[in-house]
Chains A and B, each alone.
Chain A
Amino acid sequence: MKWSIFKYALIVLLLLIIGTYAKAERTSLELSQERRSKWEKLIPDYHKLQYAGSMGFLSMGTGWAYGKHNNWETEILFGFVPRYRTEDISLTVTLKQNYIPFHLDLDKKRPGKWVLAPLTGSIYFNKIFGEHFWTELPERYPEKYYVLATNLRFNISVGQSITYQLSPNKYAKKSISFFYEVCTNDCYMIEAIQDRTIGLKEILSLSLGIKIDMY
């Protein structure tokens, strides 16, 4: 993995995080009632820390929520795989799309205090960096010698999350969510479909995470 690429990615991530704090500051100054400019929409809405999930030991990232009830989320995560019998750690980057079809208010007396997302669904691409990996078949091979990119995995997951609102008021909606997901990837699905002895329990794995909403 070229450190330089990752360095730039980290700088961008840092800017985005600083940006969200700026946005939170402004919203608390009752600016949210103004029509937000198009540029402001580019500032991320939340940050996330995720453990496992086939995209690294820990992944950190930021994302945007949109849709009528914030049913859709798009996020980018950076993760790493520690050294296990290898010389170097591996870095990964993940582009993830979430869909949250409904929210349930758990505390009827205090609407919005405890909110449960009974079902979340995600698809994500994870790319790992390293000298052994490639996306496009290297030139040395004849055409279509191998079909699937070794560094790019397509994952799907389902999960649940619970959100606690930290300081509810009319303008700022800071909250913290805990979630878990059960995921698998394209290669594992091929294995399970093609072979009768590989079942769901062989190809699924669990991941846990925390999400902090800034707006």
Chain B
Amino acid sequence: MRQSVYFLSLLFILFSLSGCEDLFEYHPYDLRFSDSHKNTNQKNIDKLAATDTTARDSFKFAFMGDTQRCYYETELFVKAINSRKDISFVIHGGDLTDFGMKKEFLWMKDRLDKLNVPYMSLVGNHDILGQGKDLFQNIFGSCNFSFTYNRTHFVCLNTNALEFDYSVPIPDFSFIKQKAADSTQIDQTIVAMHVPPGDIEFNNNVIDVFHYYLRQNKNLLFCAHAHTHNLMKRDYFNDGILYYGADNIEDRNYLVFTVYKNSYKYEVVYF
């Protein structure tokens, strides 16, 4: 009896271990991972730039977010995007993870890496938990970043002010100002963020200043955000600049924006 218990338990343990991806774990928040996982955003921006060779009248990009703990739905999303040929790239609106743990970042990255088109991810408030900010910065890159596609400037901002107890400039006005000043190669601007203005996570003390600074960008078309786990469309400052909120991926839909010169269209796509 005892012998069989011994053999069964040994078999079970060895069986469970065969194929473990990270055999020895030092801590859920450690930053021990292969260098190949680094700078994901910049790698994708470079890939996108390589496809941005000829000027076109319009292009489409997908916007989604809040994929935390929904790996299955994220896989379905990746399949849905890969099955259509009209999307140029994907922007993830943040909250890749729920606890900001290394495994979560890498599990999510593994799935998003299967996209046939480049993808860039913003930082969400959950991604900052624990050692999450360091993990995000190492795996994806800067919390504020920008890129250009078809003469349209995309400014991606960290708006998770509450996570830093307002001790760090979030939103970072000097970054926004610097991006707004550099407008020779672009016709228009689209801004993406995780947390929308007015949310408790946002630094609402500077809400008007924030929008003022965004308006300094050349020909601002609209803003996109995630975080609310609901589809949203608001003219927050009554000036015609709309803030579009993406649903969480668990609800199986994403936004597609078609961008023309000086105008755009949007639609919600279910999968």
Enumerate chain A residues within 8 angstroms of B24, measured Cβ to Cβ.
Answer: 51-52, 205-207
Min Cβ gap A198→B in Å is: 6
Enumerate chain A residues within 8 angstroms of B239, measured Cβ to Cβ.
Answer: none
Chain A interface residue bracket vs B: 35 or more
Asked whether B20 lies within 8 Å of A205 as measured between CB atoms, the reply is yes
Contacting residues of chain B (1-26) with chain A, CB-CB under 8 angstroms: 2-3, 5-6, 9-10, 13, 16-26
Of A54, A182, A194, which one neighbours B26 at CB under 8 angstroms? Answer: A54
Given known contacts A182-B16, A191-B104, is B27 in contact with A150 (CB within 8 Å)? no
Asked whether A55 lies within 8 Å of B162 as measured between CB atoms, the reply is no
Contacting residues of chain B (48-98) with chain A, CB-CB under 8 angstroms: 69-72, 75, 98
Q: Kindly state the separation between the CA atoms of A151 and B99 in the bound complex, as whole angstroms.
A: 11
Contacting residues of chain B (116-142) with chain A, CB-CB under 8 angstroms: 129-134, 138
Of B6, B25, B70, which one neighbours A52 at CB under 8 angstroms? Answer: B25
Asked whether A205 lies within 8 Å of B23 as measured between CB atoms, the reply is yes
Looking across the interface, which residue of chain A has its beta carbon closest to that of B30?
A81
Enumerate chain A residues within 8 angstroms of B267, measured Cβ to Cβ.
Answer: none
Q: Kindly state the separation between the CA atoms of A118 and B4 in the bound complex, as whole angstroms.
A: 10
Is B143 an interface residue when CB atoms closer than 8 A count as contact? no
Please report the total number of B residues contacting A with Cβ < 8 Å: 46
Q: Kindly state the separation between the CA atoms of A52 and B25 in the bound complex, as whole angstroms.
A: 5
Asked whether B107 lies within 8 Å of A198 as measured between CB atoms, the reply is yes
Given known contacts A54-B26, A86-B131, A204-B16, is B5 in contact with A118 (CB within 8 Å)? yes
Enumerate chain B residues within 8 angstroms of A197, measured Cβ to Cβ.
Answer: 71-72, 75
Looking across the interface, which residue of chain A has its beta carbon closest to that of B126?
A146
Enumerate chain A residues within 8 angstroms of B104, measured Cβ to Cβ.
Answer: 191
Q: Kindly state the separation between the CA atoms of A54 and B6 in the bound complex, as whole angstroms.
A: 25
Q: Kindly state the separation between the CA atoms of A196 and B107 in the bound complex, as whole angstroms.
A: 13
Asked whether B21 lies within 8 Å of A201 as measured between CB atoms, the reply is yes
Asked whether B9 lies within 8 Å of A187 as measured between CB atoms, the reply is no
Enumerate chain B residues within 8 angstroms of A119, measured Cβ to Cβ.
Answer: 5-6, 9
Asked whether A132 lies within 8 Å of B131 as measured between CB atoms, the reply is yes
Given known contacts A140-B162, A196-B72, is B20 in contact with A84 (CB within 8 Å)? no
Is B215 an interface residue when CB atoms closer than 8 A count as contact? no
Given known contacts A182-B13, A182-B17, is B130 in contact with A187 (CB within 8 Å)? no
Looking across the interface, which residue of chain A has its beta carbon closest to that of B164?
A140
Is B101 an interface residue when CB atoms closer than 8 A count as contact? yes
Is A104 an interface residue when CB atoms closer than 8 A count as contact? yes
Of B9, B18, B200, which one neighbours A158 at CB under 8 angstroms? Answer: B9
Q: Kindly state the separation between the CA atoms of A126 and B25 in the bound complex, as whole angstroms.
A: 13
Enumerate chain B residues within 8 angstroms of A57, measured Cβ to Cβ.
Answer: 26
Looking across the interface, which residue of chain A has its beta carbon closest to that of B29?
A128
Is A138 an interface residue when CB atoms closer than 8 A count as contact? yes
Instruction: Convert A65-92 into 0s and 1s, putting 1 for each residue whose CB lies closer than 8 angstroms to a CB of B.
Output: 0000000000000000110111000101
Looking across the interface, which residue of chain A has its beta carbon closest to that of B21?
A202
> Can you list 14 residue pairs at the A/B interface with Cβ under 8 Å?
A52-B24, A84-B32, A86-B131, A104-B2, A118-B5, A118-B10, A126-B27, A140-B165, A150-B99, A195-B71, A200-B16, A201-B19, A202-B103, A207-B24
Across chains A and B, which 10 residue pairs bring their CB atoms closest together, nearest first? A118-B6, A205-B25, A52-B24, A84-B31, A150-B130, A85-B31, A84-B32, A119-B9, A197-B71, A54-B25
